[in-house]
Amino acid sequence: MKVPLTRSSELSDEPAMSSYDRLVLVNRSTGEVWGPGDLVEAYAFWGLLPAARVVARLAKTVRLTAGEKALVARFVGLPLR
């Protein structure tokens, strides 16, 4: 499953992007992937943040289905409100 978060990023558990059924944050433009604890700079003004925190912030800006929310919550490690 892929969860689009921005035009250039998505959360994915698809085997081509993720190994060992892990969830990863994917930059669709570059193909770069990050796990929940990896530092990523989504926007320059956010600075470097753990990918889990970036996903939690981005997920608040898009409409998600129940399944997508569950995937995001699994990556973030916390239930979404």
pTM of the model: 0.86
pLDDT on residue 61? 94
pLDDT on residue 41? 93
pLDDT on residue 6? 95
**Could you tell me the pLDDT band of residue 78, with boundaries at 50, 70 and 90?**
confident
Handedness of CA 72, 74, 77, 80 (dihedral sign): positive
Region of residue 77 (phi > 0: left; psi between -120 and 50: alpha; otherwise: beta): left
Number of other CB atoms surrounding residue 76 within 10 Å:
21
Token pair, residue 59, equals 């997920």
Q: Give the separation between CA 62 and CA 48, rounded to whole angstroms.
A: 21
8-65 pLDDT tens trace: 999 998 866 555 668 899 999 999 999 999 999 999 999 999 999 999 999 999 999 9
pLDDT on residue 80? 56
